[in-house]
Structure 1
Amino acid sequence: MMIFGCHVSIRNGYTGAAKVAASLGAAAFQYFPKNPRSLSVKDFDRGDATSCMEFCQKHNLVSVAHTPYSTSLTPSEDKKELTIASLLNDLEIADSCGSIGVVVHFGSQISKNDPLASYHLMLEMLNSVLSQWDGQCLLLIENNAGTKGALGTTFEELVQIRNLADYPEKIGFCLDTCHMFASGLWNGENTEEFFSKGEELDYFDHLKIIHLNNSKYPTGSKKDRHANVFQNGLIKAKFLQEIATSPIVKDIPFVLETPDDEGISHEEEIMQLYQKWG
């Protein structure tokens, strides 16, 4: 059976988030471990986190965390230490909740004169964070849609950053279908080539979560605007189905980051996914 879920709020705590996901018919869920607009370090309720883990184990729920919006693997100099502390805090919270990883976006361009500067800073950040991390939770690097310098849009970049890091065993991947469509990595017509390239580079061996999102903008637009899977999107449902039902991503959880106020709720969308794709 496929694993479908959605992003949920932690307004009622981590266990509360898990219970909401279960009530929606989800088999997986994503959450922000703390205020999504802050890089502050949260003194979290460890008892609640443990209860979340136990609830998920009992109900076969997969969870994954997502870093706050302001998190960047290519931060300005004055935010480097704050970002490192925030990422370690996210990993600790997610690990306590029993989550498979913490999703973080690939870095963005920081220098027009030195195209490699961003990659060097990303590696510095990854090495600094992961040298201090010994938990089970992985840091999951997400592919970009192509905005802010068009970094992190190819399998080659994603795989090479992991390979060059000091602790590749602590790094996995998160694949966003809207981002890969917007960036042009995948356009719906090149699915066979897409999977072939990813397999050749061993990308899929380290893929842990897929963000299942349609796109409001055309392929190659480099615009990151999510749409619901079966409505209001420019990716044909049959193309998304080819991705979701491929044996190459069998057993990978699919998490919706789609609108829930544009004519369909997440509960209805999850039900549709199970009815149509299994």
Structure 2
Amino acid sequence: MYIGCHLSTSKGFKNMGKVALEIGANTFQFFTRNPRGGKARKLDLKDIEGLKKIMEENNFGPLLAHAPYTLNMCSQKEETREFAKMIFADDLERLEQLPCSLYNFHPGSHTGQGADKGIELILEILNDVVKEEHTTTILLEVMAGKGSEVGRTFEELKRIIDGTKYPEKFGVCLDTCHIYSSGYDIVNDLDGVLEEFDEILGLDRLKAIHLNDSKMPFNSNKDRHECIGEGTIGLDAIINIINHPKLKDIPLLLETPNEIEGYAREIKLLKDLKK
């Protein structure tokens, strides 16, 4: 089982690898830059080599880079879309230098224009920025459906992927809190949800899982993460997820409201519950 959590890049990539080992993780997620956007720090090649060594010596799974939350490719505002395009393009180039094969982003909010227009605008940027030579797999995250979010259904994600020039470079990240809040009942019908995903997108597209409990009820369209076993999804459903045969090779990344000590406890708990 590949399991980790979100770690800060403030002390460098090698340090993130060390912290991951200290808390029992064998993968992790990190923001490519400040989660609210802005300029990314210069890459330190020696630091990156230190991380690569840790990963090789400790059988790490794929790392997940996360785009900043401010990245909105389908805003009504042209300047917001241009900012998203610039950040996205820069991130893809930087990731070519990192031992990170996955890059996750929120599709965005159409801000009242409608999902169809939102998808059209997202595709304009993706088809302009993503190049054949890029080696990173780009993941669209399933969203909770609050407000005017695009990507609240498997069908919307399929429309985006199918509309790209290089669909083979795209995958999906499932967030358990998001999909439960958006109306996919992973508590009472996990098999059915996975079958629906497979029929619409194909399970080979599923490359990462954000493993979170939820503070909000089923189908609430609210994005409020909770610690494992303390929310409306509950521990039994989490156990079913981590032990499901179709999900056994998918990296699990915690985004629960925790500090490092809390993540260490959750990782140990999940390892103990893994069959």
**1:42·1:89 contact (CA, 8 Å) conserved in 2?**
no
Contact persistence 2:29–2:66 (CA under 8 A): yes
Corresponding residue of 1:85: 86
Q: Secondary structure at the match of 1:96?
A: coil
What secondary structure sits across from 1:208 in the alignment? strand
User: How high is the TM-score relative to the length of structure 1?
Assistant: 0.91
SS in 2 for 1:70: coil
* Residues 214 and 233, structure 2, Cα contact 8 Å, conserved in 1: yes
Query: Equivalent residue of 1:175, what SS?
Result: strand
Q: Which residue of 1 aligns with 2:267?
A: 270
Partner of 2:196: 197
Alignment of 1:105-144 (within 5 A): 105-112=106-113, 114-131=114-131, 134-144=133-143
CA distance in 1, matches of 2:162, 2:53: 34
Tell me the C-alpha RMSD between the 2 structures.
Answer: 1.9
Q: Measure how far apart 1:41 and its partner are.
A: 4.7
| Secondary structure class of the residue paired with 2:156 | helix
SS in 2 for 1:265: helix
Q: Give the whole-Å Cα distance in 1 for the aligned partners of 2:80 and 2:223.
A: 25
Q: What's the secondary structure of 2:268's corresponding residue? A: helix
Runs of 4 or more above 4 Å deviation: none
1:266 is paired with a residue whose SS is helix
Call closer, same or farther: CA 1:91–1:47 in 2, change over 3 Å.
farther
Give the Cα–Cα distance (whole angstroms) in 2 for the partners of residues 97 and 168 of structure 1: 22
Task: Identify unmatched segments of 5+ residues in structure 1.
Answer: none
How many equivalent residue pairs?
Answer: 273
What whole-Å deviation, never above 9, does each CA across 1:9-51 have from its counterpart, x for those lacking one? Answer: 1111011111111111001100112222223354322332233
In the aligned structure 2, how far is the partner of 1:226 from the partner of 1:29? 18
| Alignment check: 8 A CA contact 2:2 2:60 kept | no
Contact 1:100 1:138 in 2 (8 A): yes
Q: CA 1:35–1:261 in structure 2 vs 1: closer, same or farther (change >3 Å)?
A: closer
CA distance in 1, matches of 2:247, 2:58: 22
1:3 offset after TM fit, Å? Answer: 1.5
1:1-278 correspondence runs (5 A) = 2-62=1-61, 63-75=63-75, 76-112=77-113, 114-131=114-131, 134-231=133-230, 233-261=231-259, 265-278=262-275
Summarize the Cα distance change of 1:111–1:259 in structure 2 as closer, same or farther, 3 Å threshold.
Answer: closer
Contact kept? 1:41, 1:85, Cα under 8 Å? no
How far apart are the structure 1 equivalents of 2:45 and 2:86? Answer: 18
Q: 1:116 to 1:156 in 2, by over 3 A?
A: same
| Structure 2 unmatched runs, 5+ | none
Q: Is the 8 A contact 1:36 1:67 kept in 2?
A: yes
Q: Deviations over 1:93-123 (max 9, x none)?
A: 33322112111012222334x5411010011
Cα distance between partner residues in 2 of 1:221 and 1:170: 32
Alpha-carbon separation, structure 1, partners of 2:223 and 2:115: 23
User: How much identity, in percent, do the aligned residues show?
Assistant: 34
**For the residues of structure 2 that align with 1:156 and 1:33, how far apart are their CA atoms?**
28
Q: How does the TM-score come out when normalised to structure 2?
A: 0.92
Q: Distance in 2 between matches of 1:66 and 1:120?
A: 22
1:187 Cα shift?
4.7
Q: 1:246 to 1:187 in 2, by over 3 A?
A: closer
